[in-house]
Structure 1
Amino acid sequence: MMTVRALIFVFCILFSNSIFSQNTQIVYLSGTDAAHTVDWDFYCTDGQNSGEWTKIPVPSNWELQGFGTYNYGHDWKKANIKLGKEHGLYKHEFEIPASWKGKTVNIVFDGSMTDTEVKINGKLAGEIHQGAFYRFKYDISKLLKYGKINLLEVDVAKHSSNESVNQAERQADFWIFGGIFRPVFLEVLPGSHIKRAAIDAKADGSFKSFIELNGPGLGYSVAVQLFDLEGNQMGQTIRDKIEDGNVEKWISGKFENVKSWNPEWPNLYDMKISLKKGEEVLHETTERIGFRTVELREHDGFYVNGEKVVFKGVNRHSFWPETGRCLSEEHHLTDIRLIKEMNMNAVRCSHYVPDKRFLELCDSLGLFVLDEVTGWQNSYDTIVGPKRVKETILKDENHPSVVIWNHGNEGGWDFANEKGFHEYDIQKRPVIYPWLLRNGADTHHYPAYNYAIGRYINGNDPFMAAELLHGLYDGGLGAGLEEYWKKYQSSPLHAGGFLWVLADEAVLRTDLEGTVYDGDGNHAPDGILGPHREKEGSFYTVKEIWSPVQVKPVTINRRWNGKLFLENKFIFTNLKDCSFEWKAIKTGFDKTENEITGKGTCQSPFTEPGETAAIKVNFGKALQKADLLLFTANDPHGNELYTWSWPVIQTDEKAAELIKMIAGNPSEIEVSESEKAVTVSIPGLEVSLSKMNGTLLSVKNRKGVVSFTGGPVPAGGNTEITDLQWSKEPGKNFTFEITTNNYPEKIKWTLEKNGLLLLEASPLQNELRDIDFFGISFNYPEEKCKGIKWMGRGPYRVWKNRIKGSNMGVWDKTYNNTVTGESFNNLVYPEFKGYHGDLYWAIMQTTESDFTIISETPHLYFQLFKPEKPKHLAGGTHPPFPEGDISFLYEIPAIGTKFKQPEALGPGSSKGYFRGHKGDEGYPIKVWFDFRSKE
């Protein structure tokens, strides 16, 4: 928190450095962001801590500071929930230097929720501002006491007196807060000054600028200079006269040798515009700009700098659990870095205008931005609406990142208010209506895979879902994205999509005992990230699918020729500017670590966007000892795009190696029988199998019982035992064979003299339809499991329609009971429970005795217990699981979204189908168990 003394110091520095300058001076009355605040006097009229004057940090949302009433936007229609309509009264004193007399002093609010009345020294600064997310200002020059202390009083009403504002902002599907949540500052300008400088800078270096003055003058001129970010002037100064008496001026020109702006190469410049009278500089203002050209070509697509753009984006709320909509520099940076880490190039600011600082960072780090005027599913009226449109454009017009204006969301518009965009935006950026086909773009939300007749890939207009694959818990988002994307890319009208949403919006409730993070049931946990930006599994799926470098499918083994074929999915970047590296790994096992058997870099191929090229991995003899090959693509700025991994060896090869490693000395096997069981043993191990069905009844080793029992039983089918036989010849292994009338037709247990137990279940021969899962299951008490180390796809669980993003490797994770989107007070990722892919081996870490599982079956899924069902289940976000605790499966289910069952997400999300034939040489489930105590 910034102290008053520190604030005065900043004030004095700003003043002393600029007293003889004609630049705009900015003096903060509040703090600059959530991490740097200033205490003001505060009085809350209702709810928590109401009825007395106290202090509050500014900027902030008052609920998060322990005042007022928490409400989610849907609460207005719930009779049992109090709808907080409190006011927040603010007071703050500030000193104005006497030397400011004759200057223009504006007080500027960057965001206040919602109706805001401002008084200076007891007098109204202007009309009450209505609308929560917009920059507004008042000229208070005539209300100030120069050389004296001045009093600022602000009355903020959480709900508006204008019902259309409430319907647009307060009755929405997001948290609604109160308070001055963005900075408040003084803007100090010379008596004659530039009131507005709108700039349209094109990719070829040409520009035009609309200059608006605060008043007319005689003998005025304007000069435009361009500087790179090191302060070097680019080209010559461009000058033009302003006709006497005019307050508006258009000026244009062209700068040579400028680099255009795009998200892959976010080149920026400072444009200084000076208002002069003769040789005297009256006022200078500097705008940081990028040169880029934006077009929406009818029946074609969105173009930036002449290149067709595919937006790979996400919807983002301005939100942090402990600060609400009041954000810090680090919050903005965190979100932008994570968005770019997922290989996204765009963000939609849903459902309101973002902080100015967020846009500045999108400019410099490189993201396309869809800037949205609020209106969730209802609109501002034609009195308030045009004012909010104007404020949006005047604040954000010069940001190169802003390439599209969104006029509301899902019906949250009045078409009559659109004209304001065209009137004020000199760049004439496209104006879209998220979920409509209008103004040349189809932005329908949450399309099913087979959508639609005459629209999207079957339509005549560029299409992009402004909201795509509605996440909830672990559903949607990455799940289903691969098939959608492949289908959409088949159309030249494909313009991209924006996933819903970046992060779970769970807020810290200061009105409840303890530390409670509240996502309002299933309304807010829709993110790819947790509320504190914890990465869910879909994060890596999106990262792989949307990587601008794609690797064509390839099989890698020890006879591989070293060629990978790379597709360049960049828009503006040649692969020659990227870097590529590889690593071969011999995997560790149990207590041993991975060993690098070779590594190196690859020559970057000259490959333009849209082209495919071969790249050579010169691995020498590195693969002869390796189990895995890793290949990494890095962008021109050194950021990892993705690391792919492939197994070099088959599961049966790795199994043979491990079995040889862990096998004990041969011992004679002893067999005994009871009425219900056959018990076989060697020194240190005893295994009992049911004489009724061949299932595992008990396992004991030197440490005691290992509670792995109850299988194998079919997962996803029914069967009846037709025959059981067991045998043990002297000096031989013990075998127990089970025959059934359905899958698996043959099951065979073998206890070898070396102490290892082998299970073989014959492959499916007949036809099965509409399969959720298929394989065999066992039981193990969840409470006795401490963790797992395994080789396979990880570290996150997988679903049938979310395999991408999970990489081959050796992974280790501790038991947790995370319920994605609900366990906000103990949110541990990756989740422990669920389906895992491509099992090679696993060591179950337990409170009893660790045991090892080794698979010989390729592409075998491994179920590890059942995730708990979320309390507020919706759509297809809780797929089925087998009855058992630990399963080995050929097939697993897909996961759906908040609004759709998996079957609506494409063929790859549908239920499974299998048909075999007699004579097929299929792949039995063949799994080894080592239950022996390691001590």
Structure 2
Amino acid sequence: MMKKLLFMFPAIFFALNVHAQDTQYQYLSGKDKDHMVTWDFMVNTGMKSGVWSKIGVPSNWEQQGFGSYNYYKDTQNPEETGQYKYKFNVSKSNAGKAVFIVFEAAMTDAEVKINGKLAGPIHQGGFYTFQYNITSLLNFEGENLLEVRVSKQSADPSVNRAERKADFWLFGGIFRPVYLKILPKAHLDRIAIDAKANGGFSLDAFTENAPVGSFLKARVQKLNGENVGTEISSKITSVENATNLKGWFKDVKLWSPESPNLYQVVVSLSDANGKLIHRIKQKFGFRTAELRAHDGFYVNNKKIIFKGVNRHSEWPESGRALSKTLNIEDVKLIKEMNMNAVRMSHYPPDPSFLDACDSLGLFVIDELTGWQAKYDTEVGTKLVKELVTRDVNHPSIVIWANGNEGGFNYDLDHLYAKYDNQSRLVIHPWEKFNGTDTKHYPDYNYVVNSALYGKDVFFPTEFMHGLHDGGHGAGLDDFWSAMMKHPYAAGGFLWSFADEGVTRLDRNGKMDIQGNAAPDGILGPHREKEGSFYTIKEIWSPVQITLKNLPVNFDGKIPVENQYFFTNLNQCRFEWRLAKLPAPGANSQATTTASGKLTGIGLMPGDRGLLSLPLPASWKFNDVLYLTAFDPYNKEIFTWSWPIKTPTAPVTTGVAAKSKIQVSETNKTLSLNVDGIVYNFDKKTGYIQGVTNKKSEISISGGPALAGVKCELKEFKNYASGDDYIVEPVYNNEAKFKVKWIFSSGKDVKLDYEYSGQGEADFMGITFNYPEENITGMKWAGNGPYRVWKNRLKGTKFGVWDSDFNNTITGESWKYPEFKGYYSDVYWVTIKNKQSPFTVYTTNKGTFFQMLKPLKAAGATNNNTTPPFPDGDLGFLDAISPIGTKFQSAEKLGPQSQKNMQLNYTWNKGSLWFDFN
């Protein structure tokens, strides 16, 4: 036993010694918004100003109750400055080592003092990681005082132009972590890795105080520590230049968003005798990213398409101070929409967000700040270095963006390659530059013309502006089809991921989205999902199924296309399900009658084939067929649905015996009593003017009116027809609007209608009035749960849905799904109300239902995102209106966004059944 202990002791000592050579970190702040550390603080103006208080770090001080809020420009208290103090100790054991203080970000100018002495030059630029060597300033025998003075406005006017006059919230404070980085005097400062798809590996190592003759070694490993290939090494021959280590590794697994395979490299610095001095560990991925002029963007020698979104780093309660958990959740939400890319708009994000993009799989455009104005060359040179050296080893980053929308300093472009040994593409978002066309907010015709005549690789870095409920999913189907016809297509990036809402502490926590400046998201400020979330999910699904309706002779075969770039469809799986839906009055849920699982079929990227569902012979007796695709990681790609039956008339009301219909009439009204329910008609308009059942009056009125067309009553016909009674208003109008009510004892009321028209129309169909203040909700069989627009029909699912009334205005309130609007392929709908619920059945497949009219957003400066609606409250329509974007009216967004057109007079016929019991 003693021999065994003596044998183990050197190994234990060696392990401890090796560990001691790793970089040590001592946090002075908390690690994120949820784990802050309290510092002393005073702000000179605004909320709680002029008095020393306490603040949590990291944070934006506005969200801690200090200072002033500003969006776009520092108009309120531009001289606002915060002073921080914090006392800390450094272990005596670290004397003789190099100690750096690191700020991951502080906006905007930061002056740092240690024990009353400046740590270095004032740092300018609010989104970048910076550090100072403070070894000589520290007291290793006792307490140290850290003082930081942070000014919102920079002393450099170009920083203010680039950062503080920008279309986003302008916060203040130390909003990312602060820590000490403790290293040996001789140490590895940083490394830059170029690991290519062919297994080629190149590493540039930058050292400090390492003498010539020292050795550098690099050991590539899997993340579990298993060694890969052989160790590579090189002797340091220059203390001024990087030392390069090269190797080649066989059979490596490549990194891509579809398979985000990661490795790690352990880099060791040893003296001439082989004694370990310092070591670091860095994750990376083998992948090659390149632009091929007049062709496209290639990753791992495959032409890829960016399906991306722009993302601000923001949370309502904490501003730009985030957390690892939140960053991971955002990446998951982006991938849930079947996106594969994200653009950092308009500044570098938290390191943990990029870590999540690496590990979960997203392409990244990493961006230097410069919103329509650029940094001067002197300060920009420093910030490019800070940006690239921090982020260079992330395999997710495939492009650098040098500013945004004119905020380009051309003198900085060459600097990216100076610090990036991969020489990744540098773009100017919005500009034709470096072989790319990244035009912002092109209309549909621009895309079509670019596909015909464009000479550059095309990927708009902002398009489909998502103000309120416009853009994003609305119009995307047409845009995407046109973009994919471009011979040099590389996809595009939607604007934007989430509404930039901030809870204002100076307004009792009220959410502020700055009118129409900030509610541009696919998600709300707290990541509430808009309807476009699911539209994008379907359009950008890597498994494409375009079957709209089940054919009459459906044999279970469904056409499928593989739109992955690296994944064979046999790595995916599918589940199908047949279900029967509950009747209108039932409280039950859909009932699954049969289901099954399928392995994916062998289809290479770009190939098409048939997926065969082994449906039972009785499949036609069900109401709906669902099909779900799952990716290789068992995440849902999308669920498609197909109604099996067409809408039909309801069953009888259940009245035991027929009763005679009672008719009473005055000069103004006609009243019918059918099975105890009274129906009233206005003889001047021909419209129904109210119904009374045994429970209550039901205030339905004003219909059926022909949507968007004024019709003058020519004759009010009403007569008995056998045991039935007919009400048949006759109208004098060009649309030839015909209406016939059929009342039968023991049955629901039937309404037959028809109309014809020619030319353009915003909508087509019939409407009724019903008081909005009485409506409490609705239940329906059809597509849901989200409303639709003419140019956003994808993303819903057929089923029975139940929704309570809300008055949500997309992007200004966030109770989703929105209640008011158009709904597609509705078979029946129950109007829940304070009087007596009633149900209307449709018999035409493809019927749209209009539930009231959404309010216009308070921040809307035009009608682009306020589509036209009929005058009525409840509509049964054959055609509905599209929606536009912040910058473009609907007609600029492609074929699906045009008004409805009938070239010749065409009859539109329909029937509705009303159950007022």
Q: TM-score normalized by structure 2?
A: 0.96
Change (3 A) 1:561 1:19: closer
Aligned to 1:7: none
What is the CA–CA distance in structure 1 between the aligned matches of 2:566 and 2:824, rounded to whole Å?
35
Query: How far apart are 1:751 and its partner, in Å?
Result: 1.2
- The answer to whether residue 580 in structure 2 is matched with residue 579 in structure 1 is no
The one-letter code of the counterpart of 1:318 is S
What is the CA–CA distance in structure 1 between the aligned matches of 2:239 and 2:299, rounded to whole Å?
38
Aligned to 1:796: 786
Change (3 A) 1:303 1:40: same
One of 796, 811, 815 as aligned partner of 1:828: 815
CA deviation vs aligned residue, 1:680-704 (integer Å, no higher than 9, x gap): 1123200011222321012000012
- The answer to whether residue 404 in structure 2 is matched with residue 405 in structure 1 is no
Query: How far apart are 1:564 and its partner, in Å?
Result: 0.6
Aligned 8 A contact 2:556 2:614 in 1: yes
One of 719, 723, 731 as aligned partner of 1:727: 719
What is the CA–CA distance in structure 1 between the aligned matches of 2:516 and 2:311, rounded to whole Å?
17
Aligned to 1:903: 891
Query: How far apart are 1:601 and its partner, in Å?
Result: 1.6
Residue aligned with 1:266, SS: coil
Query: How far apart are 1:718 and its partner, in Å?
Result: 2.6
One of 903, 906, 910 as aligned partner of 1:925: 910
- The answer to whether residue 903 in structure 2 is matched with residue 915 in structure 1 is yes
Aligned 8 A contact 1:738 1:746 in 2: yes
Residue aligned with 1:262, SS: coil
What is the CA–CA distance in structure 2 between the aligned matches of 1:316 and 1:208, rounded to whole Å?
31
Greater mean alpha carbon deviation, residues 284-293 or residues 769-778: 769-778
Aligned to 2:868: 880
Aligned to 1:642: 638
CA deviation vs aligned residue, 1:381-420 (integer Å, no higher than 9, x gap): 0111111001000100000001100000001121011121
Aligned to 2:852: 865
One of 732, 743, 751 as aligned partner of 2:743: 751
Query: How far apart are 1:543 and its partner, in Å?
Result: 0.5
CA deviation vs aligned residue, 1:762-804 (integer Å, no higher than 9, x gap): 142x41x221111111100111111111011111111000001
Aligned to 2:47: 48
What is the CA–CA distance in structure 1 between the aligned matches of 2:449 and 2:707, rounded to whole Å?
42
Aligned 8 A contact 1:734 1:752 in 2: no
Query: How far apart are 1:244 and its partner, in Å?
Result: 6.4
Residue aligned with 2:461, SS: strand
Aligned 8 A contact 1:68 1:84 in 2: no
Aligned to 2:323: 328
The one-letter code of the counterpart of 2:674 is I
The one-letter code of the counterpart of 1:253 is G
What is the CA–CA distance in structure 1 between the aligned matches of 2:598 and 2:447, rounded to whole Å?
44
Aligned to 1:596: 592
One of 635, 659, 681 as aligned partner of 2:673: 681
- The answer to whether residue 342 in structure 2 is matched with residue 355 in structure 1 is no
Change (3 A) 1:613 1:796: same
What is the CA–CA distance in structure 2 between the aligned matches of 1:191 and 1:887, rounded to whole Å?
76
The one-letter code of the counterpart of 1:313 is G
Change (3 A) 1:17 1:904: farther
Greater mean alpha carbon deviation, residues 901-910 or residues 617-626: 617-626
Change (3 A) 1:683 1:392: same
The one-letter code of the counterpart of 2:242 is E
- Alignment RMSD: 1.7
Aligned 8 A contact 2:451 2:482 in 1: no
Aligned to 2:445: 450
The one-letter code of the counterpart of 1:798 is V
Aligned to 1:63: 62
Aligned to 1:237: 231
What is the CA–CA distance in structure 2 between the aligned matches of 1:873 and 1:638, rounded to whole Å?
41
Query: How far apart are 1:661 and its partner, in Å?
Result: 6.9
Aligned 8 A contact 1:59 1:180 in 2: yes
Change (3 A) 1:704 1:116: same
What is the CA–CA distance in structure 1 between the aligned matches of 2:104 and 2:29, rounded to whole Å?
11
The one-letter code of the counterpart of 2:781 is M
What is the CA–CA distance in structure 2 between the aligned matches of 1:99 and 1:669, rounded to whole Å?
100
Greater mean alpha carbon deviation, residues 722-731 or residues 404-413: 722-731
What is the CA–CA distance in structure 2 between the aligned matches of 1:866 and 1:428, rounded to whole Å?
53
The one-letter code of the counterpart of 2:762 is D
Change (3 A) 1:664 1:149: farther
Aligned 8 A contact 2:193 2:393 in 1: yes
What is the CA–CA distance in structure 2 between the aligned matches of 1:244 and 1:471, rounded to whole Å?
53
What is the CA–CA distance in structure 2 between the aligned matches of 1:803 and 1:267, rounded to whole Å?
36
The one-letter code of the counterpart of 2:798 is M
The one-letter code of the counterpart of 1:494 is A
Change (3 A) 1:835 1:20: closer
Aligned to 1:806: 796
Aligned to 1:79: none
Aligned to 1:849: 836
Aligned 8 A contact 1:733 1:751 in 2: yes
- The answer to whether residue 699 in structure 2 is matched with residue 712 in structure 1 is no
Aligned 8 A contact 2:852 2:872 in 1: yes
Greater mean alpha carbon deviation, residues 842-851 or residues 217-226: 217-226
Aligned to 2:626: 630
Query: How far apart are 1:731 and its partner, in Å?
Result: 2.9
- The answer to whether residue 774 in structure 2 is matched with residue 778 in structure 1 is no
Aligned 8 A contact 1:319 1:327 in 2: yes
The one-letter code of the counterpart of 1:22 is Q
- The answer to whether residue 139 in structure 2 is matched with residue 140 in structure 1 is no
What is the CA–CA distance in structure 1 between the aligned matches of 2:884 and 2:722, rounded to whole Å?
55
CA deviation vs aligned residue, 1:452-476 (integer Å, no higher than 9, x gap): 6974552011101100011111111
Query: How far apart are 1:724 and its partner, in Å?
Result: 2.7
Aligned 8 A contact 2:515 2:860 in 1: no
- The answer to whether residue 535 in structure 2 is matched with residue 541 in structure 1 is yes
What is the CA–CA distance in structure 2 between the aligned matches of 1:757 and 1:644, rounded to whole Å?
34
The one-letter code of the counterpart of 1:126 is G
Change (3 A) 1:761 1:664: farther
Aligned 8 A contact 1:468 1:497 in 2: yes
One of 675, 683, 688 as aligned partner of 1:691: 683
Change (3 A) 1:452 1:502: closer
Query: How far apart are 1:530 and its partner, in Å?
Result: 0.6
The one-letter code of the counterpart of 1:785 is I
Change (3 A) 1:250 1:703: same
What is the CA–CA distance in structure 2 between the aligned matches of 1:452 and 1:829, rounded to whole Å?
32
CA deviation vs aligned residue, 1:571-593 (integer Å, no higher than 9, x gap): 11110000011111111112233
What is the CA–CA distance in structure 1 between the aligned matches of 2:799 and 2:239, rounded to whole Å?
73
Query: How far apart are 1:140 and its partner, in Å?
Result: 0.5
Q: Structure 1, unaligned stretches of length 5 or more? A: 1-15, 77-81
What is the CA–CA distance in structure 2 between the aligned matches of 1:63 and 1:557, rounded to whole Å?
59
Aligned to 1:128: 122
Aligned 8 A contact 1:664 1:755 in 2: no
Aligned to 2:602: 606
CA deviation vs aligned residue, 1:232-271 (integer Å, no higher than 9, x gap): 1111111222226565211110122220100010001111
The one-letter code of the counterpart of 1:851 is F
Of all paired residues, the percent bearing the same amino acid is 47
Query: How far apart are 1:719 and its partner, in Å?
Result: 2.5
Aligned to 2:300: 305
Q: TM-score normalized by structure 1?
A: 0.94
Aligned 8 A contact 2:707 2:766 in 1: yes
The one-letter code of the counterpart of 2:911 is K
Greater mean alpha carbon deviation, residues 246-255 or residues 432-441: 246-255
The one-letter code of the counterpart of 2:681 is L
Aligned 8 A contact 1:216 1:244 in 2: no
Count of equivalent residues: 899
Aligned 8 A contact 1:311 1:346 in 2: yes
Change (3 A) 1:161 1:249: same
Aligned to 1:621: 617
CA deviation vs aligned residue, 1:697-737 (integer Å, no higher than 9, x gap): 12000012001111011112232333331111453344435
